[in-house]
A and B are shown apart, each in its own frame.
Chain A
């Protein structure tokens, strides 16, 4: 089973070398691809200098677009599983095997890493945690599965999910909407424990204003979901 680790990166030059080194030490995958989402902090030069396999986008198109590039790359190279890992070092490469395992066993199409199923590690607090709890409750009701970490980006995608997400575009802040898309296309999604850490370097591009905008955009996209046509015809599933 061919596993690709896709690392979307936007202005993460401070943490990227550490993340890649950790990944190479941890193993558990066949191929690595960093998707430089139009960074302006020298990420592209860094990737070239360190000879890290990468795709560099000419402009910043957001995490959903960056991941679509990774899915298109994977589909063209007959990859079986795409694991998305953030470039800020918050995801532990040691969890990759646990993420891929349910897909390998054929019991899931998408596996999501949840920090709230893990015994230790970084957890959101205050308003952010309250919003996550609310979103988790709502998404659990809508999808009929037990969602504990609705904003987790640490995921493994099997072939059916890759085929779907190559063409389908979620909103610019995709994680919660993605769950609904997968549920709507009857893809099996499970959660496993994954440890979340503090950032290894750099700063988050999501400040308070952008976080609030992300919340509104995501809720709106989720509300519109039942009205949208399905991306993948019934026959292809």
Chain B
């Protein structure tokens, strides 16, 4: 097995994993598109070795797979930044929800207390 076959095998596996996660609804549509495109692009690039080599030489990179690694590095960094943004946004949303819930809970407690019958009435009903 040569390096190209291994790369193709890994990319096909990634594509299969992405499709399976989409099928099981474990991956939301927002990310499904990104990961499907990524997996397809990686499979295509693994198959198109001569074209990758040509582009690499044009850019002054003498070994084709280095270009692939470089592209992968950029993609991982961009994906990491994107997920940090998502996590930051979700953290703010969760904090806001926790605050809202606590304030609503307190308001509910106050309303319930104001509606509760006085202690002597509660005793006489028993």
Asked if B20 is an interface residue, CB under 8 A from chain A, the answer is: no
Indicate if the CB atoms of A65 and B105 lie closer than 8 Å: no
Interface class of chain B by DSSP: helix
Q: Enumerate A138-189 residues with CB–CB distance to B below 8 Å.
A: 169
* Residues on A with beta carbons closer than 8 Å to the beta carbon of B92: 169
Q: At the interface with chain B, which of A9-17, A67-75, A101-109, A210-218?
A: A67-75
Q: What 1/0 flags go to A49-72 for Cβ under 8 Å of B?
A: 000001111110100010011001
Q: Enumerate B83-106 residues with CB–CB distance to A below 8 Å.
A: 92, 94-95, 98-99, 101-103, 105-106
Closest A residue to B107 by CB, please name it: A76
**Nearest CB in chain B: distance from A173 CB, A:** 15
* Residues on A with beta carbons closer than 8 Å to the beta carbon of B106: 54-56, 73
Q: Enumerate A15-57 residues with CB–CB distance to B below 8 Å.
A: 38, 54-57
Indicate if the CB atoms of B98 and A72 lie closer than 8 Å: no
Q: Enumerate A65-108 residues with CB–CB distance to B below 8 Å.
A: 65, 68-69, 72-73, 76
Interface size (A, Cβ < 8 Å)? Answer: 15
In the assembled complex, the Cα of A144 lies from the Cα of B95 at a distance in Å of 33
In the assembled complex, the Cα of A76 lies from the Cα of B103 at a distance in Å of 10
Instruction: A56-B102, A57-B98 given; name 11 further pairs at CB < 8 Å.
Output: A54-B106, A55-B102, A56-B105, A56-B106, A58-B101, A61-B95, A61-B98, A65-B95, A65-B98, A69-B99, A76-B103
In the assembled complex, the Cα of A59 lies from the Cα of B102 at a distance in Å of 10
In the assembled complex, the Cα of A69 lies from the Cα of B102 at a distance in Å of 8
**Nearest CB in chain B: distance from A70 CB, A:** 10
Closest A residue to B110 by CB, please name it: A53
* Residues on A with beta carbons closer than 8 Å to the beta carbon of B103: 55, 69, 72-73, 76
In the assembled complex, the Cα of A65 lies from the Cα of B103 at a distance in Å of 13
**Nearest CB in chain B: distance from A90 CB, A:** 25
In the assembled complex, the Cα of A76 lies from the Cα of B99 at a distance in Å of 14
**Nearest CB in chain A: distance from B102 CB, A:** 5
A-B contacts, 28 listed (Cβ < 8 Å): A55-B102, A55-B103, A55-B105, A55-B106, A56-B102, A56-B106, A57-B98, A57-B99, A57-B102, A58-B98, A58-B102, A59-B94, A59-B98, A61-B98, A61-B99, A65-B95, A65-B98, A65-B99, A68-B99, A69-B99, A69-B102, A69-B103, A72-B99, A72-B103, A73-B103, A73-B106, A76-B103, A169-B92
